[in-house]
Structure 1
Amino acid sequence: MFTVTEKAQKEIKAFFQDKEIQPIRIFLNQSGCCGSQMVMSLDEKRDNDSTFKVDGIEYLIDRDLMKQAQPINVDYASKGFIVTSNLKFDSGCSSCGSGGSCG
């Protein structure tokens, strides 16, 4: 299952208001000292993608990731987009030496 909240969809449509609409990839970012997190980026469709179309916007998620992570939800808050899933991540911030300033 994949969902996009009304607030997130409104912000995404506003982003594309004066731009060509491109697919948005939801993926697992495993870089940085704060550990893994689900993020979004503009991308092109790949052979192993699950595709979800929401109000004219195409979202791409690797099929294997979708099987492991579903349900996936995209929301928007004052700090930006928030992608949540069934995956559980360990936070690396407590021991990375940054004093909790990750992100």
Structure 2
Amino acid sequence: MITLTDSAVSQIRKLAVEKASEGQLLRIFVEAGGCSGFEYGMSFEAKKEDDQVLESNGVSFLIDPTSLEYLDGSVVDFDDGLSGKGFDIRNPNATSTCGCGRSFN
């Protein structure tokens, strides 16, 4: 399971109104890249055949099976404070992370 905090839910709902087209949900994914080997990503997309639709805190989102393996147990937060860096994924499966907050191993 992946948990979205209240602040993440608020920002996702705001972005969905601004950026999502009809029938699109937020996709949370992992891809090769970044300075630590893997990189987190988010985008609004239509559901693909192998996607799972998960729900947290009243928001449904998409995730592919491979990304779910890497992200299971993670918490997605959003920080918009003075030193906020946007979305932050706290991933218990990451053995190391980069200072940018988007890359992990």
> TM (normalized to structure 1)?
0.68
Q: Secondary structure at the match of 2:37?
A: coil
Q: In 2, distance between residues paired with 1:26 and 1:102?
A: 15
Contact 2:30 2:70 in 1 (8 A): no
Contact 1:73 1:83 in 2 (8 A): yes
Q: In 1, distance between residues paired with 2:95 and 2:52?
A: 22
Q: In 2, distance between residues paired with 1:102 and 1:40?
A: 13
Unpaired stretches in structure 2, ≥5 consecutive residues: none
The verdict on how the C-alpha distance between 1:102 and 1:25 changes in structure 2, with shifts beyond 3 A counting, is: closer
The verdict on how the C-alpha distance between 1:102 and 1:33 changes in structure 2, with shifts beyond 3 A counting, is: farther
**Percent sequence identity over matched residues?**
28
2:94 to 88, 93, 97: 88
Task: Tell me by how many angstroms 1:27 deviates.
Answer: 0.8
Q: Secondary structure at the match of 1:16?
A: helix
1:72 to 71, 74, 99: 74
Contact 1:71 1:85 in 2 (8 A): yes
> TM (normalized to structure 2)?
0.67
Larger radius of gyration: 1
Task: Tell me by how many angstroms 1:34 deviates.
Answer: 4.3
* Cα RMSD, aligned residues only: 2.9
Task: Tell me by how many angstroms 1:12 deviates.
Answer: 1.3
The verdict on how the C-alpha distance between 1:35 and 1:89 changes in structure 2, with shifts beyond 3 A counting, is: farther
